A = this chain, B = another copy of it.
Amino acid sequence: MENKFAFAKDLVYKAGAYILEHMEEGLEVEEKTCATDLVTQMDKNVQALLVSEILKHYPNDAIFAEEGQLKEDIEVGSVWVIDPIDGTANFVAQGYDFAVMVAYYENGIGQFGIIYDVMRDEMYHGGGQFDVKCNDKVLKPFRNRPLKRFLIASNAGMLERNDWGVADLTKDCLGARAYGSAAISFSRILQGRLLTYITYLYPWDYAAALILGEKLGYQVMTLDGAKPDYKTRQGIMMLPKEKISELQEYIYRRGEN
């Protein structure tokens, strides 16, 4: 597993270097399902780079990736979960606050996760048998504080509609932030900067964070309190295990608007 983990980190750094090299070229943006769901040629190229290197080194492994048809069952066998660029809208409009994410599962059990914030050059990596680090620095496990001393992250639409009581929760916290990227939001949780992140996500959006967070006292669950299905887009939150019952008071009993 150590070799596989080292290979994965090298590969994700390569993907980041590829992005930096090609960023300045005009981004060809096409619209997927709607105008805010952008996919660029870069997403496709970065995914192709990741997939081809993984299958060259591990030809028997399976892939579950954002773009295209590679959607193997995460809970069966050795599976790489790939989000080539998380935060595509930020990538297109800001050239900032996006990340490459890779997670590796064996029979549904997370072995390691990697979130690489390319512009800040910060790699969050570890989980399973590995320490969770940001670059070379070991990250500290969750430390409890009163709700009023924590910020949360969500997205603007959920806050507007008070989906799942997220606006109510905000009022009893220090405030809400919206960064426009699951990877960036999760990495701030891992740094102890946010209490929770609540939004609608696909498995490639949460797979790496789930593995990383597990070792620091966090859990990823659906907004009605179940295990994520690793297949569809669901209402998802990552939160400290210690705070589950406190946050249940806001989230689970309220439901979606």
Contact surface of A with B, Cβ cutoff 8 Å: 29, 35-36, 38, 89-90, 92-96, 148-151, 156, 159-160, 162, 167, 170, 174-180, 188, 191, 193-194
> What separation, in Å, do the CA atoms of A145 and B156 have in the docked complex?
22
Among B38, B156, B177, the residue within 8 A (CB) of A179 is B177
B151 with A188: CB separation less than 8 A: no
B151 and A160 form a contact (CB under 8 A): no
Query: Among the listed B94, B162, B178, B193, which residue makes an inter-chain contact with A194, where contact means beta carbons less than 8 Å apart?
Result: B94
Identity of the chain B residue whose Cβ is nearest the Cβ of A156 in the assembled complex? B176
Residue of B nearest to A195 (CB): B93
A167: chain B residues within 8 A (beta carbon) = 156, 160
A38 CA / B149 CA spacing, docked (Å) = 10
Chain B proximity of A195: nearest CB distance (Å) = 9
11 CB-based A-B contacts, threshold 8 Å:
A35-B148, A35-B174, A89-B151, A93-B194, A95-B193, A96-B188, A96-B191, A156-B175, A160-B162, A177-B180, A178-B178
Residue of B with least CB distance to A150: B93
Q: Are A93 and B151 in contact (CB under 8 A)?
A: yes
CA distance A160 to B149 in the complex (A): 21
Cβ–Cβ contact A193 & B149, under 8 A: no
A92's partner among B38, B149, B170 (CB-CB below 8 A) is B149
Q: A193 touching B96 by the CB < 8 A rule? A: yes
Which partner residue on chain B sits nearest A38 by CB separation? B174
Residues on B with C-beta less than 8 A from A191 are 94, 96
